[in-house]
Amino acid sequence: MKKAYAFDGNVMTFLLILVWLPGLSMFITILTPECSMIYYLESTSWDYTNETWCPVINDIDFYYSVGMCAIGAALYFLIFGKLLLMAFTIGGYTIFSEVVWHFANEFIPDELLASFLGNILWIGEAGLTPYIYLLIN
């Protein structure tokens, strides 16, 4: 007799679509001529271009990223109580790096230094999870 799992068939397909849909829609939106991103080599920074949808997409990107990080930190807390340090460290660092990436020019007057800090935080985010995991274990 085959065991029935909660995430078989149509449920799993729906969940996969639900998870991939926001990222795919953002990717498609950035590929359109209405809003795109550009890399400035002089200041080593990414920014949205000045098309019509860009301010809205910038706000959606910021609030979606911060919201997903907060939800992820809350789920870490609910599911893995002993990994509370990991959840808040990774979630807090990610939220901090998102805020710096979006608003660094407001509190760091040197644009090159602000972009450099944003890129360093972004690179550090990639190695933070394994580092915290090694610290905990």
In Å, what is the CA distance from 119 to each residue of 100, 123, 126? 10, 6, 11
Asked if 55 and 90 touch (Cβ cutoff 8 Å), the reply is: no
Domain assignment present for 36: yes
In this prediction, residue 5 has a pLDDT band, given cuts at 50, 70 and 90, of low
pLDDT at position 3: 62
d(CA 38, CA 126): 22
Domain assignment present for 5: no
- pTM given for the model: 0.51
Domain assignment present for 2: no
- The whole-number average pLDDT for the span 67-81 is 80
Domain assignment present for 1: no
Structural domain of residue 66, as residue ranges? Answer: 10-136
What's the structural domain count of the chain?
Answer: 1
Average pLDDT, the chain: 82
In Å, what is the CA distance from 131 to each residue of 17, 54, 89, 136? 31, 35, 11, 9
pLDDT in tens, 29-43: 888 888 888 888 888
Domain assignment present for 97: yes
Strand partners, 48: 37
Domain assignment present for 3: no
Q: What is the CA radius of gyration of the chain?
A: 19
Nearest partner of 36 among 56, 63, 54, judged by Cα:
54
pLDDT at 1 over 60: no
pLDDT at 2 over 70: no
Asked if 55 and 35 touch (Cβ cutoff 8 Å), the reply is: no
- Choose between 3 and 68: higher pLDDT: 68
